[in-house]
């Protein structure tokens, strides 16, 4: 793998770095973007995911003018109810109870700002169905601490993968970044030289 000298990843997520490595994209810099992630009034969850990705990329663009700036955001929703990143056991419990036995959407937003300042964006949607969870399964998952800081209160790449009855769409989107869509947006922007 070689480092892509003009790519900056606007993210604090180690999972996004690991995912990019799977497609041989190694950012030269990883710079977390601090933006207000509050949902706007009447904002659809898919629009929230894309807007946050664009805002993160724009924030890093302020100091990185000559680079490709890649940013992403993941939003989990049951209907139009936002299931935020869980910071406490109580929040994770509420999310798992809401997801138990039902379908939910993982909305992924990807933004790429080119060195010329133009912005490309993509949206990815993955539909995930959880099996009905017993109280014992929920408690065991909460004890694992995998839910900490995770949108929707779970990490599909861990123990929660055993809760997934079926899924349609991108698996990597649920982890934190759709590799298919990321590759498409990078190719369309001329990031890869032939």
Q: Which positions are catalytic?
A: 73
Residue 193 — left, alpha, or beta (φ > 0 → left; ψ -120 to 50 → alpha)? beta
Rounded to whole angstroms, the Cα distance separating 182 from 87 reads 28
Nearest to 131 by CA among 106, 166, 84, 158: 166
Q: How many CB atoms lie within 10 A of CB 183?
A: 15
For residue 65, the number of C-alpha atoms closer than 13 Å in the C-beta half-sphere is: 0
């Amino acid at each position: 793998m070689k480092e892509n000298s003009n790519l900056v990843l606007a993210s604090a997520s180690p999972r996004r770095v690991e995912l990019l490595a799977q497609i041989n994209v190694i950012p030269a810099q990883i710079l977390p973007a601090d933006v207000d992630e509050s949902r706007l009034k009447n904002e659809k969850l898919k629009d929230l995911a894309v807007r946050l990705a664009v805002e993160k990329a724009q924030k890093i663009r302020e100091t990185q003018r000559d680079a490709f700036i890649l940013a992403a955001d993941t939003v989990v929703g049951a209907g139009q109810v936002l299931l935020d990143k869980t910071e406490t056991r109580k929040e994770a419990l509420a999310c798992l109870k809401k997801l138990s036995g039902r379908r939910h959407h993982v909305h992924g937003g990807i933004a790429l700002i080119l060195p010329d300042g133009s912005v490309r964006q993509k949206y990815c949607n993955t539909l995930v169905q959880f099996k009905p969870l017993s109280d014992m399964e929920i408690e065991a998952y909460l004890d694992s601490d995998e839910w900490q800081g995770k949108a929707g209160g779970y990490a599909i790449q861990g123990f929660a993968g055993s809760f997934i009855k079926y899924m349609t769409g991108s698996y990597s989107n649920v982890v934190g970044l759709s590799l298919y869509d990321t590759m498409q947006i990078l190719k369309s922007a001329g990031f890869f030289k032939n």
